[in-house]
Structure 1
Amino acid sequence: MTTLASHLRATLTLGTPLIGGMLAQTAITLTDTVMMGWYGVEELAAVALGGSYFHVILILGMGFGLAVMPMVAAAAANGDRRQVRRVTRMGLWIGLGFSALALPLFWWSGAILLALGQDPAVAALGQTYLRIAGFGIAPAVLMTVFRSHLSALEKPRVVLWATMAGAVLNAGLNWVLIFGNLGAPEMGVAGAALASLGTYLLITGVLALYAALHPDLRQDTLFARFWNPDWEAMGAVFRLGWPIALTLLSESGLFMATMVMMGWLGPNPLAAHGIALQICSATFMVHIGLSQAATVRAGRAWGTRDIANLRLAAAAALILSGAMVALTIAAFLLVPGLLVGLFVDPADPLRPEIIALGASLLVVAAFFQLADAGQVMALGLLRGVQDTRVPMLYAVVAYWGLGLPAAWVIGFPLGFEGPGIWAGLVVGLAAAAGLMMTRFWRGPARRPAAAAPA
């Protein structure tokens, strides 16, 4: 039987490029946040708000892209390349359809942000950002499908290199377009949006070409007769994907709701929240990369009905994630002000206030690192065994039934404001982690895998 040590090595081999790719992808929004922080606090608040708005919509489409990963992994484990092609192609179809339906939400985003109680000036700048960045929703969703396809086939390195190239491009375009360097007009938030759009187009194009032309992958002929529908495969992807999408929406919606609550406190707390959230997102990408590696490893074991290796794959992923949690907690508790200070112009008179606010949020964030990592790792494992519907219900209850009310109560009636809002995140994430971990270890990880769960 395969050993835990061999699973640790395999998870690291697969997970390291995925982690790098996720970090590089985060660098895109991180660069936007850093450069807008040096441009102006109001613009920073608008891009932070607009970025969260974009992400909430994106993750709905990502759910269908992520559904491709365990399905391709299981098909590949059984040598069924025709099924690999079918599910990936229909994942692309669903992604394109979703993107077309989502565009109006970006175009009229200003009215939506105002209805959510945001500052009118911030909402107007947010709409300027989203009307441009919104055209990146299609390449961003399709990027998730290609990333899932290539990762499930254990070709993750191209994802890393393509995303790194995109991060470099984004930084360069931001420098030129936000500030008006090299003779370009100074575009502010519109420049940041154009940079993100160009970046998503580059990454998706590279992944599409690799999937179509690599010698090991040409047999899949992803784009041959692409226009022909495959309703059976589309239905399978949709049935597995919509619970993933709603699960992701429940979590990101909780974070978006906290962003809205922070906006009620004013532009400065909102800017501090955006900075702290970007820092947390950067560390969280390690766990997402490991979670995706866990999905592939679990999906292959589940596809061949090998429960012993399923348990070992899960243990290896959780050990690696736990090590990262320990490092992150230490950094957030020891140097929170230093981390936040990297995002604010030294000459900005509001710098001390924003650093103090952001540092207080990072101290609270240290306490939800374990819970946040636990829930995303459990989700990755459950997706690997194609169990998505019950985890979706757990997510709704944990995030919206517990986390959101706790954020409001601790933040406003109890008077803890920003740190109190973030304490509500701890409540929701901890509940989700406990429920989902229990389901995996008491369900798929201990019973014979006669069939995948509904």
Structure 2
Amino acid sequence: MRESHQVHPLRAELAATLRLAGPLALANMLQMAVFAIDVIFVARLGQEALAASSLAVAIVAVLMMGLNGVTGAVAPLIAAEVGRRRNSVREVRRSTRMALWLAVGLGLGAVAISFFGEWIMLATGQEPRIAAISGHFIQVLSLALVPMAIANVLRTFVSALGRPFFATLITALAIGVNALGNYALVFGNLGMPALGLTGSALASTITACVTVLAYALAIGTDRQLRRFHVFGRWWRPEWSRLRQMLALGLPISATLIAEGGLFSGAAFLMGRVGEAELAAHTVALQIAAFAFQVPFGIGQAATIRVGYHYGAGDRAAIGRAGWAAIAIGLAFVGVSALAMLLFPRLFISAYIDVDAPVNAGLVALAMQYLFVAAVFQLTDGVQAIVAGALRGIQDTRVPAIIAIVGYWAAGFATSVVLGLFTPLEGTGVWIGLAVGLTVAAILLLARWHWRERFRLVPETAPSPHAAPIIHAAIA
């Protein structure tokens, strides 16, 4: 669908980004609701179970981020291919096929790593009983890694080709499946055995498998998506495409692991501070992560929108797409930060009973951490969106270095010093998170601002045949 010539280009870009980012952000928030269901059910098992599961999820989350980083390179590749030429069926199919190969191959490697979960926890100084419970939990939960990686590839495929609403609908389905699975397997309802933590892990695995089947069904029944035949000749290798995806994806993976590792590392620091601090950290982080899903979705949309224009060789449109996404993100994070500052107990009450005397200490700690989270909402949102825009122009190596320096040299180091060697303890750990995100946001924003000076954008004029394809892809 051609955009009206009477509409200002920036306004048109804002509208296009919102059309794409809306369903993606909603799908991300629904995905967090899937994870929140696990926390809500596990929290009813007691503080020990919640602490053990949070450590396991911290490891699985880092592994999943690594997988999503490598396979997520399919997003800028598909976007650039669609923007570059009118008929891109073969190129899109090859990219998606190689992403699925990586999802399975690397996913199996991640499963193998998960079996060392208890050893990792003991090596980081966690309490032995918590480490033992968590180690078993992570082994069962690791079964979900491969289907989750496959689902991420298929989600990227449908979104980049103008069907992001499928991601929203399928994630909504996953909420119901996960809730039913937890209800039946954690406490032994519906004639199923009461498996406790193991039941929650099995529910997550079942949910991931159902999600993959739902995406396959959506792709097979949608007229536009079906013509790409992404499951056809799945055994046929495309080695050059695989190498290209690894070249782009490994730095993205390093970036996501650096960020995920920062928060997972914070969980391990909290485990050393105390069990109550770790439980409060888990609740506060769930709330902050839920709010983050909107700027994260905007960043995903920025990758696709910038990628379209990058493939078409339109330098001006590349800039508009990136800045439009940043503007939309800033508007949202301002609102979310204000909500966290004004209504912290309301958000915390979604996870625990804030009026129960036994939870008084946990609630007080969670409110302290949530205050810091509200403060760093701005920089967290900016760094996610700018990183997405840079991926759209296939710039991933330097951003990976920026992430490692910002998150770890600045952020985690601050968390260690303030959390373990000052009276701030848990609050000090969260201040470190804020420092890391802020440093990364400043450096990434500078790189995006000077993208032409760094020669990150094409110097050729845009193709006159590409624009209709770019806009049709999100119509």
Q: TM-score, normalised by structure 2?
A: 0.92
TM-superposed CA distance for 1:338, in Å, is 2.6
Equivalent residue number for residue 335 of structure 2: 327
Higher mean C-alpha displacement, 320-329 vs 119-128? 119-128
Equivalent residue number for residue 250 of structure 1: 258
**1:42-67, CA deviations, whole angstroms, 9 ceiling, x for partnerless residues?**
11111211111111011111012210
Equivalent residue number for residue 71 of structure 1: 77
TM-superposed CA distance for 1:171, in Å, is 1.2
User: Share of identical aligned residues, percent?
Assistant: 36
Alignment of 1:161 with 2:169, yes or no, is yes
Equivalent residue number for residue 358 of structure 2: 350
Q: For 1:39-438, what aligned pairs fall within 5 Å after superposition?
A: 39-77=45-83, 78-79=85-86, 80-345=88-353, 349-438=357-446
Partner amino acid for 1:450?
E
- Residues 387 and 399, structure 2, Cα contact 8 Å, conserved in 1: yes
Partner amino acid for 2:236?
N
Q: 2:458 aligns with which of 442, 449, 452?
A: 449
CA 335–346 in structure 1, closer or farther in 2 if over 3 Å, else same: closer
- Alignment partner of 1:220: what SS? coil
Partner amino acid for 2:241?
A
- Alignment partner of 1:179: what SS? coil
Distance 1:445 1:50 in 2: 43
TM-superposed CA distance for 1:228, in Å, is 1.2
Partner amino acid for 1:140?
M
Partner amino acid for 2:18?
L
- Residues 418 and 432, structure 2, Cα contact 8 Å, conserved in 1: yes
TM-superposed CA distance for 1:149, in Å, is 1.2
Distance 2:421 2:58 in 1: 25
Distance 1:331 1:272 in 2: 19
- Alignment partner of 1:415: what SS? coil
Partner amino acid for 1:37?
A
- Residues 354 and 360, structure 2, Cα contact 8 Å, conserved in 1: no
Distance 2:20 2:326 in 1: 15
Distance 2:226 2:46 in 1: 48
How many pairs does the alignment contain?
Answer: 451
Partner amino acid for 2:71?
G
Distance 1:445 1:223 in 2: 41
Distance 1:313 1:22 in 2: 21
Partner amino acid for 1:43?
A
Distance 2:307 2:376 in 1: 28
CA 445–350 in structure 1, closer or farther in 2 if over 3 Å, else same: farther
- Residues 336 and 359, structure 1, Cα contact 8 Å, conserved in 2: yes
Distance 1:226 1:314 in 2: 34
Distance 1:200 1:350 in 2: 35
TM-superposed CA distance for 1:416, in Å, is 0.5
Q: 1:37 aligns with which of 43, 46, 49?
A: 43
Partner amino acid for 1:307?
R
Q: TM-score, normalised by structure 1?
A: 0.96
Partner amino acid for 2:81?
A
Distance 1:202 1:436 in 2: 37
CA 293–55 in structure 1, closer or farther in 2 if over 3 Å, else same: same
- Residues 128 and 189, structure 1, Cα contact 8 Å, conserved in 2: no
Distance 1:122 1:181 in 2: 26
**1:238-271, CA deviations, whole angstroms, 9 ceiling, x for partnerless residues?**
1110000001111111111110000001211111
- Alignment partner of 1:151: what SS? helix
Distance 2:356 2:151 in 1: 37
**1:18-71, CA deviations, whole angstroms, 9 ceiling, x for partnerless residues?**
011111111111111122222211111112111111110111110122100010
- Residues 403 and 440, structure 2, Cα contact 8 Å, conserved in 1: yes
Alignment of 1:13 with 2:19, yes or no, is yes
- Residues 403 and 428, structure 1, Cα contact 8 Å, conserved in 2: yes
